[in-house]
Amino acid sequence: MALPPYYQQVYEVTQSIPEGRVTTYGLIADYLSLGSARMVGWALKQSLRLGETALPAHRVVNSKGELSGRAAFATPTLMAELLVSEGVEVVDNRVQDFQARLWMPSEMY
């Protein structure tokens, strides 16, 4: 069951996000030229549905630094807990110093 090509690329980028850093759907979408940030969200959600627990999807947030994907995890608080355990400050489902912790796909080399 070959997964759509962009799914795989989204997974690669997501797995390349350093611990304690975060990135956004729009950044990934733009980097992969998907043309739409929604595709990134779809791919990540599908991956969790497929059981790809090795995917650090909790490090992907929206452009405001909000944990909009928390609902897709086992519990609504799991995403925030994972980030906090990695050293990322999270208050009210929002990443503190979001801009400073932002990671860009072009950094992966």
Q: Which residues sit at the interface with DNA, rule CB under 7 A?
A: 4, 24-26, 29, 34-42, 44-48, 57-58, 60, 62-64, 68-69, 71-73
Q: How far is the CB of 65 from DNA (least distance, A)?
A: 9
Q: What are phi and psi of 22, to 5 degrees?
A: -135, 165
Written as one letter, the residue type at 104 is: M
SS3 95: strand
Element (H, E) at 23: strand 23-24
Please measure the distance between the N-terminal and C-terminal CA atoms of the chain and give it in whole angstroms.
Answer: 29
Q: How far is the CB of 86 from DNA (least distance, A)?
A: 15
Nearest by Cα to 29 from 40, 21, 18 = 40
Q: How far is the CB of 39 from DNA (least distance, A)?
A: 5
Q: How far is the CB of 87 from DNA (least distance, A)?
A: 19
